[in-house]
Structure 1
Amino acid sequence: MPDAQTRETTTTSVVLLATTPACRLSCSDGTLLDRLHDQLATLPVREVQVLTPGGGLGADLRGVAKIARISPGAVLVLPADLVAHTEALALLLEHPARGTAALVSYDAAPAPMRPPVRVDGARVAAAGSSFHTVPGSNATFRGVLQVGESDLTVLAAVAEELAELAETGRLGPVTPVEAVDLLLVGLVRWGATVRAAALGPLHADRVTGQAAAEAAVGRLAEVDEARVRLDTSVKQDDGFFATFLVSPWTRHLIRPAVRLKLTPNTVTGVSIGLAVLSAVWFSAGDQAGRLLGAALLYLSFALDCLDGQLARYTRSFTALGAWADGMSDRLKEYVVYVGLAFGYPGGPLIWRLAVAAMILQVVRHAIESSYAGWAADAAQAGSPRGRPARSLLEPGDAPHAAAGVLGVAERLDASTISRWIKKMIVLPIGERTALIAVTAAVWDAKVTFLALLTWGGAAALYQLGGRIARSAR
């Protein structure tokens, strides 16, 4: 548990836009504004600043800009006419990165209080308002925007530019209702990386009248927030093996692990220990040893999934934990390679195959990490490779069109079967674990290494082609 000083430096300041009449609508907790205040009091919030009506949209935006310039950390901006689950707000406020993110939903058509957005790769690629259109939109923005510390300068500049445009009438008949929508448009067009925090089955709705407010509050009771938190702790975009053969049962260990006060790093350590024991049994070289080694390797991978699920459930991600998790994956895999080679009576050939498999995996990891590093650099505002800032006076965003290899890949994503095939082609850690366990248990180490080199080589070519195509785009 962090001490008070650490908690103070990691919490977020909140700007509540109480600039519309709807924020004074009544509910069982007083007004909608009171209800949001009570919810924010249960979350890691540094302070709550309420902007009240007094000057129109331009004044509201300038107020946000002023707060952004003096805030010592991340800033969350949301309208006080919002009716939302506390867990929905926690998707942003309790995320350890405290980065720039927007709350979005994939299950509703755009409406005046639900502007359209286009999400690509878990990031908001385009955002709309009554003035800005979004061709190819696939989600809606639900009014909650968090801006990380590194983007606060951009937020202030965007808010001031939007204020001037609104006051001079160049954005059309926009009103204070759209303040947060316009801020999201501005951030995206200025090149800020905005994470799309998916609402899932939770609710977050802006309301305009008493009947709508009562209906929105009533809908909140239809969802079990605790169950949603448990469900979302399980990775939604994992590989086939992890999704269907591991996560369905490891999810039931999350709450017991919390009650036992186990940390994700502790679970990672136990996972490493099981992998070492697996290698020891593989080194025995007999059928019984390979079977037990395969079982221990499976359990090691299951705990590897559990540590991530536990981190997401407790929202206790750390840089050390992420690094340790990635390093443990490599360590466990290579220790198992050594154990398999020791247990195979094949002389120098088996060691050459083991070393080749290790080198191939290092190359594949380099392809992924180097591309991720380049993408992170390119996303930084002001980077020579980053997206140039776009004028806020352009009414529409560029149509979403993929070509060539990427076009084919994105069309394949429309089919559930082809999407799973794509995930399996790249031979992620779950599929590698299954491949090693099955081939070692049924055949021997030579078959295991040949299978890893064949499938891994094809995966490396597939990844390299995809990265080249994405970089070119």
Structure 2
Amino acid sequence: MGENRPDTVAVVLAPTHTARLACADTTLVDRLTEQLAALPVADLHIVPDEQGLAEELRQIAKIAKGAAAAGAPLAVLAGDVVAHTEALAVLLEHPSRSTGALVGPRVANPACTPVRAEHGRVAAAGNSFHQVDVPNATFRGVFQVGPDQVKAFALVADELAGLADSGGLGAAGPHEAADLLLAGLVRSGVQVRATGFGRLRCDRVTDQAAADLALLRLDEVDEDRVRLDAAVKQDDGFFTTYCVSSWSWRLIKIADRLGLTPNAVTGISVGVAAIAAIWFSAGDRQSQLVGAACLYLSFVLDCLDGQLARYSRRFSPLGAWLDATFDRVKEFVVYVGLALGYAAGAPMTGVGPDGIWALAAGAMALQAIRHMIDFSYAGAVTDAAKVGVSWARPHRSLAMAVDSVRSTTDKSTEAAAVQRENTIVQLAGRLEGDTATRWLKKIIVLPIGERMALIAVTAGLFNARVTFLALLGWGAVACLYTLTGRIARSLS
């Protein structure tokens, strides 16, 4: 991870009615504990429910207070969960270590309690007492509380224990502890990320027949292939998707077996880009073609470092900074190499070699402006989201069965948002529905994959002058398109 941070404290709730369910030569609870041993879990607690719901919740609150003192995240798993280890890892090994819950589609399984997910967050969570208005997903029995929220979670557990003592949770039983705690966490105003698990399995069972079926379904999925597929970005540019990611996933396991870190792959990518620049600086046709091939290879490695990081879950702030920084360094070094090669081989007439440096500087400046637009807008969106969430989710009472916030604040806010959408934003939304126009939208903004392809093709087949003119022309259109879209979305 690149940081010395406390590992997760895990709590497995072992309800009496499922604790003895068989799983091969062991039990479901034992299977869960074995899976957690393969994950970054430092401290594991098994909490039985023989003493009743209130006492179970108090034990969880006590464990949470210990985790809060250690600055560690806390994971809570219902003992009736049958899941792929990779499905658990999607949540428990996420680099942000933020608060989140595993949620899946709605299913005809009473053990999977209803939730409502909005904008990637759990907006409401239910159980036999707490009701959910317009549920659209189900909770799959596993959630994690980030280090910053563990102390608040302990207070929620204590509050629920008090309600259980006084009969304030209706007929809720000890087997619902995880569902009650998630509902309490959401109603306390904590952001809970709704984490999906894709083609992987994560089910909850109530009897031996359901457990046997869930275990059989685990074998229907190639867990490692799903992990490989998940390492490849699903929403990338056209060139990256079809000319790089379509085959680069085969390199992920090779790099992992060789013991390469994502940062090491980033460094190799920089070295190959420098080699490309050296070949470009020679100026002759053969050298230009070799430089173009090296540039493509450098970009493949640039994609591979992120894929390897996602596959191995070896993330760090340093790695993210290096990747973003060296993307720009590599591109600008290649610009310099192209300009040197053109200046060395161009006839001393017209705009000649001196003009090529002006074009190179212009291409660099335009790209710097485009990066500024992207980063400043992304930062503004992040800041706005933080402010919005801090005000939009007030604390709601755990003693009330019905969460009335949805029927007032949320619905009126959504209606106002739809009315505010301007023509440009509505048009962009309609274009997303068609495959061809969606790819066109991605291509027109000249993302890094298309830029690398443009540089390689124009430099290899023509010369640096054509390369820079193409970058300036297409880049200007992309800049105008992006700026128009950003302004339209800001005003909507």
Same fold (TM over 0.5): yes
Q: Matches of 2:142 and 2:185 in 1, distance apart?
A: 14
- 5 Å matches for 1:322-471? 322-344=320-342, 345=346, 346-378=352-384, 386-393=390-397, 394-395=403-404, 397=406, 398-399=410-411, 403=418, 404=421, 405-468=424-487
Change in Cα spacing, 1:235 to 1:353, as seen in structure 2 (3 Å) is same
- The answer to whether the 8 A contact 1:117-1:141 is kept is no
Aligned residue among 118, 121, 125 for 1:128? 125
Q: Matches of 2:279 and 2:269 in 1, distance apart?
A: 16
- 5 Å matches for 1:55-454? 56-71=52-67, 72=70, 73-105=72-104, 108-109=106-107, 112-114=110-112, 115-120=114-119, 123-124=120-121, 126-130=123-127, 131-133=130-132, 135=134, 137=136, 139-163=137-161, 174-188=172-186, 190-344=188-342, 345=346, 346-378=352-384, 386-393=390-397, 394-395=403-404, 397=406, 398-399=410-411, 403=418, 404=421, 405-454=424-473
- The answer to whether the 8 A contact 1:128-1:134 is kept is no
Q: Matches of 1:159 and 1:414 in 2, distance apart?
A: 44
Q: Matches of 1:182 and 1:379 in 2, distance apart?
A: 27
Deviation per residue, 1:277-299 (Å, 9 max, x gap): 11122223333232222111110
Secondary structure in structure 2 of the residue aligned to 1:150: coil
Secondary structure in structure 2 of the residue aligned to 1:142: strand
Secondary structure in structure 1 of the residue aligned to 2:357: helix
1:21 and 2:13 are equivalent in the alignment: no
Secondary structure in structure 1 of the residue aligned to 2:378: helix
Deviation per residue, 1:190-229 (Å, 9 max, x gap): 5544444331111110111111111101111222222222
Secondary structure in structure 1 of the residue aligned to 2:149: helix
Q: Matches of 2:55 and 2:491 in 1, distance apart?
A: 42
1:155: how far off?
A: 2.4
1:244: how far off?
A: 1.3
Change in Cα spacing, 1:208 to 1:416, as seen in structure 2 (3 Å) is farther
Choose 1 or 2 for highest CA Rg: 2
1:175: how far off?
A: 4.4
Q: Pick which of 202-211 and 438-447 moved more.
A: 438-447
What letter matches 1:363 in structure 2? Answer: I
TM-score by structure 1 length? Answer: 0.86
Deviation per residue, 1:262-320 (Å, 9 max, x gap): 22222111111111111122223333232222111110000111111112222211222
- The answer to whether the 8 A contact 2:122-2:193 is kept is no
Change in Cα spacing, 1:412 to 1:41, as seen in structure 2 (3 Å) is same
Q: Pick which of 71-80 and 41-50 moved more.
A: 41-50
Q: How many residues align?
A: 463
Deviation per residue, 1:358-398 (Å, 9 max, x gap): 22222222233334334444555xx6873443343524632
Secondary structure in structure 2 of the residue aligned to 1:65: helix
Secondary structure in structure 1 of the residue aligned to 2:393: coil
Deviation per residue, 1:324-370 (Å, 9 max, x gap): 11111010011111122223343443322322222222222223333
Secondary structure in structure 2 of the residue aligned to 1:104: strand
Q: Matches of 1:91 and 1:167 in 2, distance apart?
A: 35
Change in Cα spacing, 1:31 to 1:218, as seen in structure 2 (3 Å) is same
- The answer to whether the 8 A contact 1:280-1:339 is kept is yes
Q: Pick which of 19-28 and 44-53 moved more.
A: 19-28
Partner of 2:349: none
1:44 and 2:40 are equivalent in the alignment: yes
1:167: how far off?
A: 6.1
Q: Pick which of 402-411 and 281-290 moved more.
A: 402-411
1:82: how far off?
A: 0.3
Q: Matches of 1:86 and 1:64 in 2, distance apart?
A: 23
Partner of 2:49: 53
Change in Cα spacing, 1:455 to 1:124, as seen in structure 2 (3 Å) is farther
Secondary structure in structure 1 of the residue aligned to 2:273: helix
- The answer to whether the 8 A contact 1:14-1:76 is kept is yes
Q: Pick which of 36-45 and 151-160 moved more.
A: 151-160
Unaligned ranges ≥5, structure 1: none
Secondary structure in structure 1 of the residue aligned to 2:195: strand
Secondary structure in structure 1 of the residue aligned to 2:292: helix
TM-score by structure 2 length? Answer: 0.83
Change in Cα spacing, 1:163 to 1:408, as seen in structure 2 (3 Å) is farther
Secondary structure in structure 2 of the residue aligned to 1:103: strand
Secondary structure in structure 2 of the residue aligned to 1:439: helix
- The answer to whether the 8 A contact 1:110-1:116 is kept is no
1:11: how far off?
A: 1.4
CA RMSD of aligned residues (A): 3.0
Q: Matches of 2:185 and 2:479 in 1, distance apart?
A: 35
Unaligned ranges ≥5, structure 2: 347-351, 398-402
Q: Matches of 1:192 and 1:471 in 2, distance apart?
A: 26
**Percent identical across equivalent pairs?**
54
Q: Matches of 2:139 and 2:92 in 1, distance apart?
A: 17
